[in-house]
Amino acid sequence: MKKTPRNYEINFVQQHKISYFLVYICKEYLLKCFFFFIYPYLLTRMMQPLAERLRPKNLDDYIGQKHLVGPQAVLRKMIDSGNISSFILWGPPGVGKTTLARIISVQLERPFYTLSAVNSGVKDVREVIEKAKNTQFFNTKTPILFIDEIHRFSKSQQDSLLGAVENGTFILIGATTENPSFEVISPLLSRCQVYVLQSLEVEDLDELLNRALTQDIELKKRDIKVEEKESLFRFSGGDARKLLNIIELVVNAEDEDSEIVITNEKVTERLQQNPMAYDKDGEMHYDIISAFIKSIRGSDPEGAVYWLARMVAGGEDPKFIARRLLISASEDIGLANPNALLLANACFETVHKLGWPESRIALSETAIYLASSAKSNSAYMAINNALALVEETGNLPVPLHLRNAPTKLMKQLNYGKDYKYAHDFENNFVEQDFLPTKLKGRSIWKPQNNSSESKLKEFLNLRWKNRF
C-alpha cells in the first residue's frame, strides 16, 4: 500500500521528536559531566598552589638532579631498564624527592602506595604490606611504597619494613632531609641505595621561572615582566617549591589588571611583609646557619648565641644544629682544644635525649664554649692535603716493612721484614719510614701556633729531629 503524504508528515514529525529528545539527553549528559567532573577539576586546578600545578609528570619535565636522572645517569638507566631496587632519596626540601618517586611509579606502570612518617604508624605499614601481597599475581609488577620523611619513623616502624623489602613484597623509596646514616637503622640502610639530591642551581631555577610564566594556566593570564631575578633565586635557596611560592606571593599581591614588574626590591619588600610565606622565621635557613658557624669561628660567643636563638625561635631541628657544632669542633677548633669535640659530641647525645625546649641550653653551652676556645684548622687542612697527595700520586705501594705477613709465603716475600716495634725501644719510639718511598720528605700536617699544638710539636720534634 502506498504511503500518503500524511504518513510522510507523521513520520517526519516523529523522527524530529526523537532527534530533539536525543539532543536533549546528550545536552543534559554533557552539562552534568561538565558540572560534576570537568568544572570541579578545573576549579581544583585553579585553587591549587602554583608548585602543585607545575609538578612535573615525566622525567623530561623534571628540573635538576642531572647527576641522577640526566642522560646515562644511574637512576635514569635504572628507570629506562624497568628494573629498580629499593633506595632512599636524601636532600634538602623542595628539590624533587616526592616528584621523582611519583614519576618513577607512573613511568614503570607500577602500583604506588604512599605513607607519610608524620602521621603513619606500624599498623599503617602492615596494612600496606598486606595490600601489596594481595595484588601480587603471575607476571604482575612489584608495587612501590613511597615513605616521605622516613627519618621520622621510629626504630620499630623501620623494623616493620625489613621483611617486605627483603623478600620483594614491594620496592621501597624513602625520602629524607636528614642524613640517613644517623636516622635510618643499619639493617634497612643496608637494603637500600642512598642517592643524594642537591639544591637547584641558578640555571635550574631560571628554567623553572620561565616554565611558570609561560606554562601555568593562571600566570599566563597576567601581564608579568621579570626585570631582576637575583632576589628570587637568593631567597629560594635552591628550593623549587619556595621559588614558586615566592612568585605566587608577589603576583597575588598585585591587582589583577595591572602590569606586574618583578624586581629585587619588590621581592624583598613582599617577603618582609609576609615572612611565613617562604620560611619559618623569615630568614634563609642557610644564611643563618652560616652566620652561626662563622661567629664561632670568629670567636664571638655573643654572635653565636644570637644566631642560635634565631634558629631556636624559627623551629630549626635541634639535631641539625648539634651536627653543625660537631663539624665546627672538628674543623675550626681541632687540635687547639681536643675537648671541644668531646663536648660537642656530648651535646649531640643530650639533644637526642632531651629534645625541645631543654636541649637549647646544651646547645647554648656548647656554642659559647666553642666560640671561646682557641682555634686551629690544622687537622682539616691535613686531611685535605693528604687527599690531594693521594689524587696526585695514585696508589703507591705500601713499604714492605709495614705490610702484614700472616702467611709463610708473605714472609718469604719480605712482608714485614725490618719493621721496628716501637715499644721495644726507649721512650716507645724508634725512627723509621711510614710513608711510601716516593713521598719521603713530603709535609702533610703543619701544627699551628697555639698552646695545645705547640706542645704536640715540641713532643714530636724531640723524636723526629725537628721534622715538624
Which of 10-19, 162-171, 311-320, 342-351 is most confident?
Answer: 342-351
Write out pLDDT tens, residues 413-426: 888 888 888 888 88
Banded model confidence at residue 165, pLDDT cuts 50, 70, 90: confident
Return the pLDDT at 15: 53
Q: How far apart are the first and last CA of the chain?
A: 126
* Average pLDDT value over all residues in the chain: 81
Q: Which ranges of 135-216 does DSSP label H, i.e. alpha helix?
A: 155-167, 180-183, 186-190, 202-215
Q: Which residue has the cell 623501620?
A: 158
Banded model confidence at residue 177, pLDDT cuts 50, 70, 90: confident
Bridge partner residues of 262 (DSSP): 226
Which among 232, 258, 277 is the end of a domain?
Answer: 277
In a domain, 101, yes or no: yes
Whether residue 167 is found in the same domain as residue 76: yes
Whether residue 263 is found in the same domain as residue 309: no
Please classify residue 70 by burial: count the beta carbons closer than 10 Å to its beta carbon, then call 0-12 exposed, 13-18 middle and 19+ buried.
Answer: middle
CATH of the domain at 216: 1.10.8.60
Rounded CA separation 356/319 (Å): 10
In a domain, 377, yes or no: no
Whether residue 71 is found in the same domain as residue 166: yes
Whether residue 422 is found in the same domain as residue 360: no
Answer yes or no: is pLDDT of 277 > 50: no
Choose between 25 and 325: higher pLDDT. 325
Return the pLDDT at 87: 92
Angle between helices 155-167 and 122-134 (to 10 degrees): 10
Beta-strand ranges (E) seen in 45-203 are 87-90, 112-116, 144-148, 171-176, 193-196
Answer yes or no: is pLDDT of 115 > 70: yes
Return the pLDDT at 24: 56
Q: Which three-class secondary structure state does DSSP give residue 144?
A: strand
Which among 175, 196, 217 is the end of a domain?
Answer: 196
Q: State the average pLDDT over residues 73-79.
A: 88
Q: State the average pLDDT over residues 85-91.
A: 90
Write out pLDDT tens, residues 391-421: 888 888 888 887 888 787 777 888 888 888 8
Answer yes or no: is pLDDT of 158 > 80: yes
DSSP 170: S
| β 224-226/193-196 pair status | unpaired
Whether residue 97 is found in the same domain as residue 83: yes
In a domain, 255, yes or no: yes
Rounded CA separation 237/462 (Å): 51
Structural domains counted in the chain: 5
DSSP 116: E
Say which range, 106-110, 160-164, 378-382, 405-409, has the weakest mean pLDDT: 405-409
In a domain, 414, yes or no: yes
Answer yes or no: is pLDDT of 235 > 80: yes
Whether residue 351 is found in the same domain as residue 246: no
Contact 450, 334 (CB under 8 A): no
Write out pLDDT tens, residues 210-232: 999 988 888 888 888 888 888 88
Please classify residue 281 by burial: count the beta carbons closer than 10 Å to its beta carbon, then call 0-12 exposed, 13-18 middle and 19+ buried.
Answer: middle
Banded model confidence at residue 47, pLDDT cuts 50, 70, 90: low
What sign for the dihedral angle of Cα 328, 334, 337, 340? positive
Say which range, 202-206, 348-352, 462-466, has the weakest mean pLDDT: 462-466
In a domain, 301, yes or no: yes
Enter the pTM of the model: 0.55
Banded model confidence at residue 358, pLDDT cuts 50, 70, 90: confident
Whether residue 43 is found in the same domain as residue 87: no
In a domain, 426, yes or no: yes
Cis peptide bond prior to 357, omega within 30° of 0: yes
CA dist 398 → 390, 395, 435 (Å): 13, 9, 8
Residues spanned by the domain of 20: 5-47
Answer yes or no: is pLDDT of 31 > 60: no
Contact 73, 238 (CB under 8 A): no
Return the pLDDT at 72: 86
Whether residue 74 is found in the same domain as residue 116: yes
C-alpha cell at 11: 513520520
C-beta atoms surrounding 14 within 10 Å? 10
CATH of the domain at 307: 1.20.272.10
Which positions ≥6 away from 444 have C-beta within 8 Å? 382, 385, 386, 389
In a domain, 260, yes or no: yes
Contact 311, 327 (CB under 8 A): no
Choose between 91 and 7: higher pLDDT. 91
Rounded CA separation 338/100 (Å): 43
Banded model confidence at residue 33, pLDDT cuts 50, 70, 90: low
Return the pLDDT at 42: 47
Say which range, 44-58, 59-73, 224-238, has the weakest mean pLDDT: 44-58
Rounded CA separation 262/227 (Å): 6
Whether residue 103 is found in the same domain as residue 149: yes
Whether residue 108 is found in the same domain as residue 149: yes
C-alpha cell at 459: 713532643
417: left (phi over 0), alpha (psi -120 to 50) or beta: beta
Whether residue 116 is found in the same domain as residue 229: no
Percent of the chain with pLDDT over 70: 86
- Give 361-366's long-range contacts (Cβ < 8 A, gap of 24+): 363/308, 363/312, 363/318, 363/321, 363/322, 363/325, 364/305, 364/308, 366/322, 366/325
Which among 196, 230, 253 is the end of a domain?
Answer: 196
Answer yes or no: is pLDDT of 196 > 80: yes
C-alpha cell at 458: 715540641
In a domain, 185, yes or no: yes
Return the pLDDT at 362: 92
Contact 141, 108 (CB under 8 A): yes
Rounded CA separation 444/195 (Å): 32
Whether residue 180 is found in the same domain as residue 99: yes
